[in-house]
């Protein structure tokens, strides 16, 4: 059974650019949640995808968007990057929106300069 | 004000000693409370999960307690090891969150175990 895989592990972008982060969910899981974790803080919920549809969203602007594919892998897209977007982005997969718990990936460290 | 507050913010203990981390929350009603361990630069790993009706849960050297009346939880680590050095995060799931299972994270307690 494979866990949650995120790519890339590290990324440096310039302010104003766009970025796409990827997440492969754990085998058998159909739900993916994305979180932003600033240094020294707990993760903040961005949004959740369940069976290819967004069914929950946190307090993030529309330039944060996502997709979930038929194999339940997911992408997080951020447009018009700002310096404050620098953070660790975590993906968590689960079965049926959290039943049985969540498995987190190791995250993508995004630095915006 | 954060809905999940943790204390202390950081803690240094000697290898072999015990320690207790605190979590106060205002989320109510809630369906479950979890403790996660997060190594630097890694994703969180689940240690314990308790429903609102449970008051203790153990996982090896980790024991979590829950007092739903005072809205407090604690994580006790026994006989600490160098590998326990990490951030420990308290996470609460509200009972009703608009159709999805929302997780509210505390900021974590950063534990350093020294030889």
Are A45 and B45 an interchain contact pair (Cβ–Cβ within 8 Å)?
Answer: no
Closest approach of B77 to chain A, Cα-based (Å): 20
Nearest to A91 by CA among A8, A17, A1: A8
In whole angstroms, what is the distance from residue A49 CA to residue A26 CA?
14
Q: How does the average pLDDT of chain A come out, rounded?
A: 93
* A44-83: pLDDT as tens digits: 999 999 999 998 899 999 999 999 999 999 999 999 999 9
* B12-70: pLDDT as tens digits: 999 999 999 999 999 888 888 999 999 988 899 999 999 988 999 999 999 999 998 99
Are B45 and A33 an interchain contact pair (Cβ–Cβ within 8 Å)?
Answer: no
What is the secondary structure of B97-114 as a DSSP string? -SSS---EE---EEEEEE
Q: Is A92 on the interface with B (CB under 8 A)?
A: yes
Are B105 and A101 an interchain contact pair (Cβ–Cβ within 8 Å)?
Answer: no
SS3 state of residue A85: helix
CB atoms within 10 A of CB B64: 24
CB atoms within 10 A of CB B85: 17
SS3 state of residue A83: helix
């Amino acid at each position: 059974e494979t866990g949650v895989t995120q790519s890339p592990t590290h990324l440096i972008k310039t302010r104003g650019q766009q970025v796409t982060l990827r997440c492969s969910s754990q085998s058998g899981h159909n739900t993916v949640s994305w979180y932003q974790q600033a240094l020294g803080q707990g993760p903040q919920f961005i949004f959740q995808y369940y069976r290819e549809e967004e069914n929950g969203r946190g307090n993030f602007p529309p330039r944060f968007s996502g997709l979930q594919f038929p194999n339940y892998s997911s992408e997080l897209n951020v447009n018009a990057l700002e310096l404050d977007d620098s953070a660790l982005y975590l993906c968590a997969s689960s079965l049926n929106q959290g039943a049985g718990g969540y498995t987190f990936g190791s995250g993508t460290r995004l630095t915006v300069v | 004000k954060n809905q999940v507050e943790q204390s202390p913010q950081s803690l240094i203990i000697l290898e072999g000693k015990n320690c207790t981390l605190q979590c106060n929350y205002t989320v109510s009603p809630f369906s479950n409370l979890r403790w996660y361990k997060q190594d630097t630069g890694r994703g969180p790993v689940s240690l314990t999960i308790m429903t609102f009706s449970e008051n203790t849960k153990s996982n090896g050297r980790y024991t979590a307690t829950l007092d739903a009346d005072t809205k407090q939880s604690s994580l006790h680590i026994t006989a600490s090891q160098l590998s326990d050095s990490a951030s420990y995060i308290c996470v609460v799931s509200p009972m009703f969150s608009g159709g999805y299972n929302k997780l509210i994270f505390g900021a974590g307690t950063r534990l350093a175990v020294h030889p």
